[in-house]
Amino acid sequence: MTKTYCTTESNMWISPHTGLVTSLPPAPRSSFASDNVAGAHPLVFEAMLAANAGHFPAYGADPITQRTETSFRELFDEDVVTQFAYGGTGANVFALASMLRPADAIVCTSHSHINVDETGAPERVLGTKLITVPTRDAKLRPSDIEQVSSMFGNQHAPQPGIVAITQVTELGTVYSPDEIRAICEAAHAVGMFVYLDGARIANATASLGGTRAALRSFTRDAGVDVMTFGCTKAGGVFGEAVVFFNKSFTNRSIYVRKQTTQLHSKMRFIAAQYEAMLKDDLFITLGGRANAAAMKLFNSLHDIESLKLATAPDANSMFPIISKPEREILQSWAHFYDWDTSINQVRWMTAWDVETAEIEAFAAGVREVLD
């Protein structure tokens, strides 16, 4: 990768358009590469510190974990079972392993995190094929379930057993409650179950109304069987929660959790983070902040036609188009990821702690290069 246009030290660069040497404004202190570049919210840390005092039983038998399980039941207004895990990939694998029957396959979009971002962990740990459905917007549809139904009864094909969707999707779109309900109905009608990867559940909840009722509308009420409730991206240090609405899958789940390496000994430190996140709906507040930051960035830049930012972001990311010379200048100045180089697509994503001044600084640099 030649970077002849860019001298990062001095922010001097030669415009690929004009050939003139010019300078970029100071880079933002925030990163727009991902939401996992941010640290944890102070209240999360405070809760962990409070949990540090004294001796407590390990592996979830401590009072903080037990209190937090109750908090989840209140959050969903239902007798859900909540079991904590270490991270996103692990929580996905643990949850899916609890749900799978012999020879089941998992239906998901080709964009799904379990398909493209987990180094084959599902295939390795689950021993299961992912049946991937191509989509434009990373949203699965009931018709996709209908289509894979042709595999039922064919002994040469694994049997579609679980529909796995992601909310917020990997392309930053958000399923409506009706869309998820339709998927659940289509899946249940043919004997399949629905798993929701909620690594960005905070952003989705904020996007769909910002209330507990909103959260329930696209999970419990829509018919989701099992979901993860992400903490790390929302403003945590580590840890994910698996929430079982369909409790038939909890018969073996505590064993499956350990077997898939997801049982933390000092569980209180995960539970404490969730206690802080659920208190006064902090997770919704933080998800909303990340979303608002993305909207501000969109508003600052969507007039630049070459970016092709047609629609406002549903949550905390957008996927603009930037030509190679221009994106290389910008990535050297303030790193962000290529998404689909075949169409010059990149990803911008905002974390819970991004401030307006940083958004403005980032937008100014982008405008400087692209305008």
Cis peptide leading into 168, omega within 30 of 0?
Answer: yes
DSSP code of residue 344: T
Stretch that binds its own copies, among 31-39, 171-179, 206-214, 285-293 (CB under 8 A): 31-39
Q: How far is the CB of 99 from its own copies (least distance, A)?
A: 8
Residue 224 interacting with its own copies (CB under 8 A): no
Which one, 113 or 139, has the nearer CB to its own copies? Answer: 113
Q: Which of 315, 323, 276 is nearest to 297 (CA)?
A: 315
Among residues 25, 71, 78, 254, which is the contact residue for its own copies, using CB under 8 A? 254
Instruction: Go through 68-90 and write b for each residue having 16 or more CB atoms within 10 A of its CB, e for each that does not.
Output: bbebbeebbeeebbbbbbbbbbb
Distance CA 39, CA 213 (A): 28
Q: How far is CA 205 from the centre of its chain?
A: 12
**Helix 282-301 crosses helix 268-278 at what angle (to 10 degrees)?**
70
DSSP code of residue 18: T
Among residues 265, 310, 311, 343, which is the contact residue for its own copies, using CB under 8 A? 265
* Window 118 to 157, contacts with its own copies (CB under 8 A): 118-121, 123-125, 127-129, 150, 155-157
Residue 190 interacting with its own copies (CB under 8 A): no
Size of the site for its own copies (CB under 8 A): 79
* Window 279 to 318, contacts with its own copies (CB under 8 A): none
> C-alpha distances in angstroms, 105 versus 148, 186, 223, 294?
10, 16, 20, 35
Can you give the length of the chain in residues?
Answer: 371
What phi and psi, each to the nearest 5 degrees, are found at residue 65? -60, -40
* Window 312 to 331, contacts with its own copies (CB under 8 A): none
* Window 105 to 124, contacts with its own copies (CB under 8 A): 105, 116-121, 123-124
Stretch that binds its own copies, among 11-19, 67-75, 101-109, 208-216 (CB under 8 A): 101-109
Q: How far is the CB of 180 from its own copies (least distance, A)?
A: 25
Among residues 57, 70, 356, 371, which is the contact residue for its own copies, using CB under 8 A? 57
Among residues 6, 31, 84, 348, which is the contact residue for its own copies, using CB under 8 A? 31
Among residues 3, 17, 67, 101, which is the contact residue for its own copies, using CB under 8 A? 101
Which one, 257 or 296, has the nearer CB to its own copies? Answer: 257
